[in-house]
């Protein structure tokens, strides 16, 4: 297959690139490095089946030639306003990448009769009133709240994808991805696992927004990529599919696990004021559709995934100038 992948320099995009290349496919990566990192793709500098195009997908796309599939993964993904890479600081870029970027991707797929796969999100469920969340749930989203630029843009992207499927019979797939973590996340991404690992490695208290009773269900990146690849290859999947690990933790529990794994004496710091309106109180995927359609179930338990992520964070930190401040063992 010749696959066009937007967001290839990002966390998920770079892992997906590696997986597609390992399967023997050719990958055309497109990225403008808004939140991605060049080093995520540095190991592919001499890979003949990989080409990287620097382009903003919200702008009209050049013709990169025929492809068999378009995978749209470009988009800021962190909700944390404290990070320069958080979508509250990139509001228009986030809206346009998911709106215009999806439109251009769908047009590109239509032109070449390619399959189209959208990286959507559990955020389409907003602050869910149904728990766990099945794909049939329509969500509870504030269209003018602080998370709207992401949530509503992804909802628009899903609607646009279905419009192309219904009007043109385009072969489309929608992955509703739940919180995924692993190596290559930006250290300064602002999402909870990078924040907590970084704080624990630096012997600081872990910052808990609110009282820590809100829950998330964390999926290790290798499991997620396996689900995406199965969704790409399955014969037909026009409707959204939840991909995530149903193992649910409170944020307080997550903090305690990370402090224990890293022997962090720094403890916890509660920052009630940073728990913003619309921050989902509970989130857990109902993955029965993915299990039935794709024969997929996540395998990597939280502590195992955290160990692998911590090893990667340590390595990157020790390669940077701040290495002196780091503890010796995990
Ligand atoms: P990321 O920030 O690491 O990757 C996003 C990539 O898209 C970056 O390389 C960035 O530079 C690129 N990009 C952004 N805007 C662009 C534009 N206009 N043109 C070209 N490239 C652009 O984030 P991620 O966690 O890898 O997320 C990837 C996708 O998966 C996103 O669409 C995100 O919404 C979705 N998703 C991720 C998660 C998760 O837990 N990681 C959960 C739900 C959905
Ligand atoms: N969070 C936290 N401390 C941090 C970063 C995040 O307590 O340093 C909380 C955040 O308020 C949310 C949860 O952790 O309730 C998950 O946040 P994240 O940004 O990882 O992703 P979300 O699932 O909210 O998109």
pLDDT value of residue 320 = 83
pLDDT value of residue 79 = 97
Q: Which atom of ligand 1 is nearest to the CA of 221?
A: 41
Identify the CATH number of the domain in which residue 78 sits. Answer: 3.40.50.720
pLDDT in tens, 129-159: 999 999 999 999 999 998 999 999 999 999 9
Model confidence at 326: pLDDT above 60: no
| Alpha-carbon distances, residue 108 vs 95, 102, 117, 123 (angstroms) | 19, 10, 12, 26
Q: Which atom of ligand 1 is nearest to the CA of 76?
A: 2
Q: Which residue's alpha carbon is at the smallest distance from atom 14 of ligand 1?
A: 75
Model confidence at 295: pLDDT above 50: yes
Q: Which domain holds residue 175?
A: 2-184+219-245+284-300
pLDDT value of residue 329 = 31
- All residues at 6 or more sequence positions from 159 whose CB lies less than 8 Å from its CB, including other chains: none
Read off the pLDDT of each residue in 176-201 and give the average, rounded to a whole number. 98
Kindly give the distance from the C-alpha atom of residue 191 to the centroid of ligand 2, in angstroms, as a whole number: 6
Model confidence at 323: pLDDT above 70: no
pLDDT value of residue 321 = 59
- 327 pLDDT band (50/70/90 cuts)? very low
Is 44:50 a contact under the CB 8 Å cutoff? yes
- Domain contains 152: yes
Read off the pLDDT of each residue in 104-123 and give the average, rounded to a whole number. 98
| Ligand 1 pocket residues where CB is under 6 Å | 6-7, 9-13, 30-36, 56-58, 73-77, 97, 101, 119, 121, 177, 179-180
pLDDT value of residue 276 = 84
pLDDT value of residue 277 = 85
Phi-psi region of 41 (alpha: psi -120 to 50; beta: other; left: phi over 0): alpha
Kindly give the distance from the C-alpha atom of residue 175 to the centroid of ligand 1, in angstroms, as a whole number: 13
- Domain contains 56: yes
Could you tell which of 194, 251, 270, 306 is best to mutate to test the pocket of ligand 2, judged by most ligand atoms within 8 Å of the CB? 251
pLDDT in tens, 207-258: 999 999 999 999 999 999 999 999 999 999 989 999 999 999 999 999 999 9
Read off the pLDDT of each residue in 249-276 and give the average, rounded to a whole number. 96
Active site residues: 150
Looking at every residue in the chain, the average pLDDT score rounds to 96
pLDDT in tens, 86-101: 999 999 999 999 999 9
| Whether residue 251 has its Cβ less than 6 Å from ligand 2 | yes
Structurally, the chain folds into a number of domains equal to: 1
């Amino acid at each position: 297959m010749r696959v066009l992948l937007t967001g290839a320099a990002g966390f998920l995009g770079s892992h997906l690139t590696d997986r597609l290349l390992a399967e023997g496919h050719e990958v055309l990566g497109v990225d403008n490095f808004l939140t991605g990192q060049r080093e995520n793709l540095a190991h592919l500098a001499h890979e003949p089946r990989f080409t990287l195009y620097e382009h903003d997908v919200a702008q009209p796309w050049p013709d990169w030639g025929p492809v068999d599939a378009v995978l749209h993964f470009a988009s800021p993904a962190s909700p944390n306003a404290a990070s320069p890479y958080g979508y509250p600081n990139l509001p228009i870029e986030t809206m346009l990448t998911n709106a215009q970027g999806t439109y251009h991707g769908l047009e590109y797929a239509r032109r070449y009769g390619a399959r189209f796969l959208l990286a959507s999100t559990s955020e389409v469920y907003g602050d869910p009133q149904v728990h766990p969340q099945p794909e049939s749930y329509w969500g509870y989203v504030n269209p003018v709240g602080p998370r709207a630029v992401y949530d509503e843009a992804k909802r628009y992207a899903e609607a646009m994808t279905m419009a192309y499927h219904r009007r043109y019979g385009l072969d489309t797939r929608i992955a509703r991805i739940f919180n995924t973590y692993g190596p290559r996340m930006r250290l300064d991404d602002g999402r909870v696992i990078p924040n907590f690992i970084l704080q624990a490695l630096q012997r600081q208290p872990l910052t808990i927004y609110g009282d820590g009773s809100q829950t998330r269900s964390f999926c290790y990146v290798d499991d997620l990529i396996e689900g995406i690849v199965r969704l790409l290859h399955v014969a037909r999947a026009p409707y959204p599919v939840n991909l995530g690990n149903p193992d649910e933790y409170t944020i307080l529990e997550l903090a305690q696990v990370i402090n224990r794994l890293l022997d962090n004496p720094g403890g916890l710091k509660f920052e009630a004021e940073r728990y913003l309106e619309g921050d989902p109180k509970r989130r857990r995927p109902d993955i029965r559709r993915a299990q039935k359609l794709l024969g997929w179930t996540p395998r990597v338990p939280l502590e195992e995934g955290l160990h692998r992520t911590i090893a990667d964070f340590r390595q990157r930190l020790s390669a940077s100038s701040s290495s002196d401040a780091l503890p010796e063992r995990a």
